Amino acid sequence: MFQNAADPPSGIGRLQQRAWYPALVAASTQQRPEQTWTTRHLLAWIEEHLGSRSVDEPGLVARWLVAHAIGTDPIHLYTDLDRPASEDERERLRALVQRASGHEPVQYLLGEAGFLGRSFDVGPGVLVPRTATETLVQHVLTWHRGLDPDQRPDPLWIADVGTGSACIAVTLAMHLSAAMVVAVDRSEQALTWAHRNVSRYGMGERIEVVEGDLCEPLQSRGLSGRFHVLVSNPPYISDSRWESVATNVRGFEPEEALRAGIDGLDVVRHLLHDGPSHLLPGGLMVIEVDDHHASEACRLASECLELEHCRVLRDESGDDRFITAIRR
Rounded-to-integer distance, Cα 87 and Cα 110, Å: 19
Q: Considering only residues 105, 235, 276, 283, which one is a binding residue for ligand GLN as defined by CB under 6 A?
A: 235
Rounded-to-integer distance, Cα 308 and Cα 327, Å: 6
Least spacing, CB of residue 236 vs ligand GLN, in Å: 5
Q: Considering only residues 2, 120, 157, 236, which one is a binding residue for ligand GLN as defined by CB under 6 A?
A: 236
| Tally of helices (H runs) and strands (E runs) in the chain | 12, 9
Residues 276-295 that bind ligand GLN (CB under 6 A): 288
Q: Considering only residues 237, 285, 287, 294, which one is a binding residue for ligand GLN as defined by CB under 6 A?
A: 237
Q: Where are the beta strands (DSSP E) in 205-251?
A: 207-211, 227-232
Rounded-to-integer distance, Cα 284 and Cα 230, Å: 6
Rounded-to-integer distance, Cα 306 and Cα 301, Å: 9
Is 173 a residue that touches ligand GLN (CB under 6 A)? no
C-alpha distances in Å from residue 255, one per residue of 187, 242, 293: 11, 10, 19
Stretch of 7-15, 31-39, 229-237, 302-310 contacting ligand GLN, by CB under 6 A:
229-237
Is 313 a residue that touches ligand GLN (CB under 6 A)? no
Nearer to ligand GLN, 217 or 235 (CB): 235
Nearer to ligand GLN, 130 or 293 (CB): 130
Least spacing, CB of residue 176 vs ligand GLN, in Å: 23
In the stretch 128-157, what mask flags binding to ligand GLN with x, by CB under 6 A?
A: --x---------------------------
Rounded-to-integer distance, Cα 290 and Cα 85, Å: 44
Backbone angles phi, psi at 256, to 5 degrees: -70, -15
Widest Cα–Cα separation across the chain = 76
Nearer to ligand GLN, 135 or 233 (CB): 233
Least spacing, CB of residue 242 vs ligand GLN, in Å: 10
Nearer to ligand GLN, 170 or 258 (CB): 258
In the stretch 74-113, what mask flags binding to ligand GLN with x, by CB under 6 A?
A: ----------------------------------------
Spell out a b/e string for 104-131, using b for 16 or more CB atoms within 10 Å of the CB, else e.
bbbbbbbebbebbebbbbbbebbbbbbe
Is 222 a residue that touches ligand GLN (CB under 6 A)? no
C-alpha distances in Å from residue 315, one per residue of 179, 181, 289, 296: 23, 23, 10, 17
Least spacing, CB of residue 31 vs ligand GLN, in Å: 46
Nearer to ligand GLN, 121 or 288 (CB): 288
For residue 56, what are the β-bridge partners? Answer: none
**For binding to ligand GLN (CB under 6 A), which residues are involved?**
130, 233, 235-237, 249, 258, 288
